[in-house]
Every structure is written in structure tokens, then in C-alpha cells.
Structure 1
Amino acid sequence: MATSNHAADGPVVKRGLEATTICFSEEPALAEADSGGGHRFALRVTCSVTRSLEFRKSGQRLNVLRQEYTGFGRDSAITFPVGDLSALQSDTACRGALRGMLAELPQFRSLHLDEDEWDAVVPADIVPQIVRVARGDDAKDGFTFCFAMKVHRRIIHGEEALLMACKERAVDLDGAETDDCAICLGGLGAEPAVELPTCEHAFHRRCISTWFSKTTTCPMCRGDVRLCALRKFLNL
């Protein structure tokens, strides 16, 4: 679990990554390669990626938003040709090659992974299998190494993270502020206030912080603040 930002009393946003290999197999070289029209070595990757946004209070998970990017259908499989077999004949080279291939998948680009998270994405359990095949006597005949995997990105945050996604409300220098905080009914100009990223409804920072300890929706329109703030959480 990688922590992305901290408050005085601990992390307010955590990001975790779980990668699992579903299956892997060795298949003959691609038909176009046999006819001289392509590479004799290739890796075919099928990957399912999901992302969940969790809200926690006092260590308890209150609710979860989950979004799926790519399923396991045949259309989601992508084949990467390998021009130089030596790129798969050692553990280090193979891991580097796999990382480069996975980095080209659009569902991974949408996750904005950190450098250290790529170590968790590369399926270490199949690296020895690929190296074994690439070093084998039959490798010269060509092969397509196929594997399927699933990746789950978890973003976990508390009420302080929601406040970090809010915009500070501008101070009324003329003292003509007439809007009230819908939570306490006091004037917004009396103390620091923020606007929600979902709907721009404004509240005292103190009031909305207490509100976020119970729910993630706007007190006025019930819009879910997490939906609009998701990209900001990814960048925290």
C-alpha cells in the first residue's frame, strides 16, 4: 500500500495495487509469422483493470465506488511481437520487456502508476516460465506466450481528503457576503469556507469537515463529492 499524502494525524489518501495472474500458456507461433509476414516470437496479453474509491472513517470502510475498464473478452487481448529473443532470456530483461508492453495498455495509462508500483504490476510468477521457453531448444521454431491478468487499484481516503479536493472560497473584501452555510445557517464570511468540486455549493470548512465524517455527498444537492474529486485524488 503506497501512501500519497498525509495529515498531521496520519495518511489521508492511500493507494494500493493488487495484481493477479489468471492463466498463462505457450502456443505455436502466429500464422502470419509462419508465412514469413511477421515475428516468430510474441506475447499476447489479456488484462482486466478495476479501480475502487473507498471512504473510511476511524478505520472502518463506509462505502465503495468501483469502476471497471477492460474485461476478459477476446477483443481486449493485445499481441506484442518480440524481434530480439534475448529480451526474454533472462529474468531482468524479461521483466523489463513485460513492463514496457504493459505500459502500452490504455487501461494502465489511466491509473497513473508510480515507479515502484510497476514492480507489483509485472507478473513475476510467469517471468521464469517465459525465460524457460525462450531459452529452450524449441524456441527457434517460434512461439506465442499468452497470459491473462487482473489488476485492482484501490484509493482509500478519509474526510480530510475530501476537503483537499475542495476549493477555498474567496474572501469578500467588501463585507457584502450574504450567503449562509446550509449546515449551521451562519454567514459564510464569518469564518473560512470552501466550495465543493462537484457543484460549487459553499460551506464553512469546519461544518463540511464534520459532515464528511458521516457521508461524502453535498448537504444541498446530494451530489457525490468523490465522483468529481477522483482525478484530484489520483494526483495527490
Structure 2
Amino acid sequence: MEISKHDTDGPAVNRGIDAATISFSEEPALAASGGSHRFALRVTCSVTRFVEFHRSGQDPVVLLRRCTGVVARGSATTFPVDDLSALQSDTACRGALRGMLEQLPQLRSLWLAEDEWDAVVPADIVPQIVRVARGDDAKDGFTFCFAMKVHRRIIYGEQALLMACKERELDLRAAKTDDCAICLNGLEGEPAVELPTCEHAFHRRCISTWFSKATTCPMCRGDVRLRGLLKFLNL
């Protein structure tokens, strides 16, 4: 599992990639079966994406885990290899595999970061491909076939809920302003936000502290996790 952090003030968002090889085999060259290339790789890749909400602390707790519904099971895609030297070293083979995987639509739909593409490359089959590509029988041609699965995890902390909140716009013309239900002081004194589920407003610092202990609105007790995270996904 590769996890990369993209945050500013604390671990608001973590992204995890778990790639695994399901099967690997070597088949006759495409040219032997009527194809035009002696060397090729045939890839089958399935993709699943999950959203999780974690409460941080000494013992992190998973409060929400939900599949976003994006589950792609791609059909086999064949990539011809014109230059065999692209598969004859570990570095070159990893680069070639990455270039092939970057063309798969089910992986492109995940909008992976630059470093995450390296984590998707199945490292366990690289030495097997290199060994065959360097062998004396390589000149006869080959087609490597492998199936893999990729799990994409987007993990949110309490700060992600705060980022999904809308900045409170105070009506300066009003004779009276609302109070923060947490500290009971007026909202006009410092930055305030409205929750994405119920639009109840609180001081930013107050609701930030509250989210470190609970994921409900302090006033109506509505759970802001799911709607808040889905709104954050669209930011």
C-alpha cells in the first residue's frame, strides 16, 4: 500500500494505492498467431475506489468507509513492443509498463498523482519479464499476459469536514447577529462557517475543535460526514 499526503494544516487528505497482480503467464508471440508483432504485453486491470473518514489521534478510528460506485473491470488490452531493449532492464521495463498502464481508461479515471503511477506498476512481474527478454529464446517472440487489480483509497480526517464548510457571510446591517452555539459568543467577532448539511453556523476555531471529537452538528446532531466529504470531493 502506497499512501501519499496532500494537506496544509494537518492530515486532511491521504490517498492510498494498493496494486496487486492476480495472474501472470507467457503465451506464443502475436506473429505466430497471425499478429504483426513478435513481442507484446496483454494487460487486464480492474479498479475499485473507496472513500474513508478517519478520526485522528493516538488510535485512529475508521468512522466511514464507502465504495463510491466506481468499479471498473477492463477487458484485456494488448500493447505491442517494437524495441525489445525496453524490457531488458529493471528500470526500462518499469518505465515501459508505466507508460502502458497510463493509457488504460480505468486507471486514468482515478486522476493519480505523479508518484502514485509508480506504485501502480506491478513490481513482482518486472524481473520475470526482464529474465525472459534477456534469454536466448527471446528472438522467437513472446506475449506476456497479466491481470491486476488496483484499489484506490481516499482517506479524510476531521479537517476535510472543515474544508467542506461554507464561509459564513454576516449581515452587518442587522441589529443583532447570531451566536456560536459552542462558545456562546457572537459570530461577528471572528471567522465563522456554515455546515454543509444544515447550514448552522459556528466559529471556525470552535467547530474545528468539535470535529476532533464528534462528526455531528452541535445544534441539530445531524451527521455531517457523508455529505461533507462528498461536497469536499467536488471542490
**Does structure 1 retain, via aligned residues, the 8 Å contact 2:45–2:149?**
yes
- Deviation of 1:130 after TM superposition, in Å, equals 0.8
TM norm structure 2: 0.77
**Does structure 1 retain, via aligned residues, the 8 Å contact 2:53–2:64?**
yes
Matched, 1:131 2:130: yes
Matched position secondary structure for 1:76: coil
State the one-letter code of the partner of 2:45. Answer: C
**Cα 1:188–1:77 shift into 2, 3 Å:** farther
In structure 2, how many angstroms separate the alpha carbons of the residues matched to 1:109 and 1:54? 24
Counterpart of 1:4 in structure 2 is: 6
State the one-letter code of the partner of 1:48. Answer: S
Matched position secondary structure for 1:201: coil
In structure 1, how many angstroms separate the alpha carbons of the residues matched to 2:170 and 2:122? 52
- Deviation of 1:120 after TM superposition, in Å, equals 1.9
- Deviation of 1:60 after TM superposition, in Å, equals 2.1
Q: Where does the alignment leave 5 or more consecutive residues of structure 2 unmatched?
A: none
Cα deviation digits, residues 14-57 of structure 1 (max 9, x gap): 22322222221111223xx4465532322111222233323223
Matched position secondary structure for 2:16: strand
State the one-letter code of the partner of 1:81. Answer: P
State the one-letter code of the partner of 2:231. Answer: C
Matched, 1:51 2:49: yes
TM norm structure 1: 0.77
For this pair of structures, how many residues does the alignment match? Answer: 225
Q: Where does the alignment leave 5 or more consecutive residues of structure 1 unmatched?
A: none
- The within-5 A match list for 1:32-181 is 33-34=31-32, 37-52=35-50, 53-58=52-57, 59-67=59-67, 69-70=70-71, 75-175=74-174
- Deviation of 1:199 after TM superposition, in Å, equals 4.8
**Cα 1:189–1:77 shift into 2, 3 Å:** farther
Aligned-pair identity (%): 68
Aligned CA-pair RMSD: 3.1
- Deviation of 1:127 after TM superposition, in Å, equals 0.8
**Does structure 1 retain, via aligned residues, the 8 Å contact 2:198–2:222?**
no
Counterpart of 2:19 in structure 1 is: 19
Q: Bigger shift: 11-20 or 187-196?
A: 187-196
In structure 1, how many angstroms separate the alpha carbons of the residues matched to 2:120 and 2:176? 51
**Does structure 2 retain, via aligned residues, the 8 Å contact 1:17–1:154?**
yes
